[in-house]
Amino acid sequence: MNASARLTTLTRLGFATRGLLYIVIAFLILRTGRAEDPAGALRYLGESGGQLLLGVMAAGLIGYGIWRLSDAAFDIERHGSDRHGTLQRVGALASGVTHLFLAWQAIRLMQGAASSGDSTREGTQTALSLPGGSFLVMLGGVVLVGVGILQLAKAVKASFLDYLDPAIARQAWAQWSGRLGYGARGFVFMITGYFLLRAGFQEQGAEAGGMDKALAWLTNPWDIVIALGLLGFGIFGLIEARYRRLHDAPIDGMVRRATGRA
């Protein structure tokens, strides 16, 4: 198996890991009312499943993150060069960085390191201390609201089905798990964007927050509705792990070029 094929295998493991994290997030809300983000779900699984599970998830998240960055750099998913394609590649870049950060957190948990707190709030506070920081934070809020709107558009158009095996894409369970999932994620992104806008306007980093704060902010029954949607997104992640059509990243060529220069 060449390097590109190995990365594709790890990417599928990454889709499964992401799906599992969202299933845990939904489970915690529905069963205990506890609001967590993917990093919190990672900690929960680490406490329950131990080092082996964390190691498997870290490997999957690394593969997924590298594959997303490769998509941003080389357009391996054939997004195109128009405005929509450019936005897709920017989204792939953000997703790649986010999931590599999650992989780093999994490795830190394996080493016994404690959580460092709310990274969104800390990052916002750091940004506010910079010249023009409040504008930067509000700009980040606008971007997150925009991402949320794009997620809702995906839910309506069901464009996520384009990447699945056609036979699976026609199945109602694949369609509705994706629709519910992207819809729920869209609302969560919009809420976190609102928190950033408020933090920037008031110049208070404490006003910012990630998915965990957004879910805790929701009142009954909306927290249950969003949790069910996130459960759908987790299930769709497992579907993607098995049935998504993946294009290989050009890893082998990069390795050959690097080896040749050496």
Into how many domains does the chain fold? 1
* Residue 16, pLDDT above cutoff 90: yes
Mean local confidence (pLDDT), 205-213: 86
* Residue 248, pLDDT above cutoff 80: no
Q: Alpha-carbon distance 94 to 76, whole Å?
A: 16
* pLDDT mean across residues, the chain: 89
Q: Alpha-carbon distance 109 to 44, whole Å?
A: 11
| Residue 218 lies inside a defined structural domain of this protein | yes
Range of the domain at 24: 3-257
Alpha helices for the chain (secondary structure H)? 3-32, 38-74, 83-110, 119-128, 133-157, 166-169, 172-202, 211-217, 222-243, 251-261
Higher pLDDT, 117 or 137: 137
* Residue 238, pLDDT above cutoff 90: yes
| Residue 190 lies inside a defined structural domain of this protein | yes
Predicted pLDDT of residue 133: 86
Predicted pLDDT of residue 258: 45
